[in-house]
Structure 1
Amino acid sequence: MKKISINTEFSVFENAQETPQEIQTLLKEAIAIRNKAYAPYSKFKVGAAILLDNGKVVLGSNQENAAYPSGLCAERVAIFQAGSLYPDAKIKTIVVTAAAELNTTTNPIPPCGACRQSIAEYEIRQDAPIEIYFTGEIGDIYKSDSLKNLLPLLFNKNML
């Protein structure tokens, strides 16, 4: 038997003012769209802002449904919209912010497994990494230079 070691690396910002101006703008847009989320069941609202290489910004918020799991997460709403509206554009950055209605979300909230797989599909398709920033309602903001930090052993089309 042998063992392998997988290392991931994140940059941590203590607040939005530490991030580049472009990220501060995306964060504001992600918060604004988060506030429009449809989350009557979980009371957990998520917003995502995606910056494309053509300069366009695409937004998404989570959309729940009484028939769990028929809803969609904010990240997939945004990424699928970006793929539909701008199929030839590359995704440069995704900013994700989450807030619970019942308590203050103080930890960075990363994309769920389904969203990680969807982001992986686009990262592989465009053959370029996607920066991912994620945060809670308050507190640290984590930055990953690539989805591979969040999903190091990703499943992709080459395995089919």
Structure 2
Amino acid sequence: MKEIKIESTLYVFESLGELPKEVLFLMEKAVEAREKAYAPYSNFHVGAAILLDNGEVVLGSNQENASYPSGLCAERTAIFYAGSQFPKAKIVRMAITAGSKKSKTTKPIPPCGACRQSIAEYETKQDAPIEIYFMGEIGKIVKSNSLSNLLPLGFDKSVL
């Protein structure tokens, strides 16, 4: 038997004030998107903002449905829109913010598993990493230089 050790490197910013200006702008756009979430069941609002290499910024917010599996997360709303409207553009970075309407969310909230898989698809498609920044409503912000830090041993087209 052989042991395989998997390590990921993430970076933590203590507050929005520590972010580079271009990342702060993107996170502010994610906050705007979060305010447009439709989440009457969970009361958990998520916003995502994506910067493309052509300079476009694409926003997404979670959209719930009474038939829960029919809803869509903010990250996938944004990434699928980017893919459909700008199919040749590469995704440079993504900012994500999440918060509950029931209590203040201070812990950084990473993308769910389905969103990680969807982001991985685009990272593979463009053959370039996607920087991902995520936070709650307030507090620390976590940065990953690539989705592969959040989803090691990912499933992609190479196994098909």
Do the two structures share a fold, i.e. TM-score over 0.5?
yes
**Structure 2 unaligned residues grouped into runs of 5+:** none
Q: Does 1:79 align with 2:63?
A: no
| Deviation, structure 1 residue 118 | 0.2
Q: Does 1:140 align with 2:140?
A: yes
| Deviation, structure 1 residue 68 | 1.1
> Where does 1:31-70 land on structure 2 (aligned, <5 Å)?
31-70=31-70
Q: Alpha-carbon deviations, 1:72-125, whole Å to 9, x = none?
A: 000000000000000000000000000000011111000000000000000000
Q: Secondary structure in 2 aligned to 1:129?
A: coil
| Deviation, structure 1 residue 41 | 0.3
Q: Secondary structure in 2 aligned to 1:124?
A: helix
Distance 2:67 2:42 in 1: 13
**Structure 1 unaligned residues grouped into runs of 5+:** none
Letter in 2 for 1:89: A
User: Identity over the aligned pairs, expressed in percent?
Assistant: 66
Distance 2:17 2:25 in 1: 10
RMSD over aligned Cα, in angstroms?
0.5
Letter in 2 for 1:159: V
Distance 2:152 2:51 in 1: 23
Q: Does 1:98 align with 2:93?
A: no
Distance 2:128 2:119 in 1: 12
TM-score, structure 1 normalization: 0.99
Q: Secondary structure in 2 aligned to 1:39?
A: coil
Moved over 2 A (4+): none
Q: Secondary structure in 2 aligned to 1:45?
A: strand
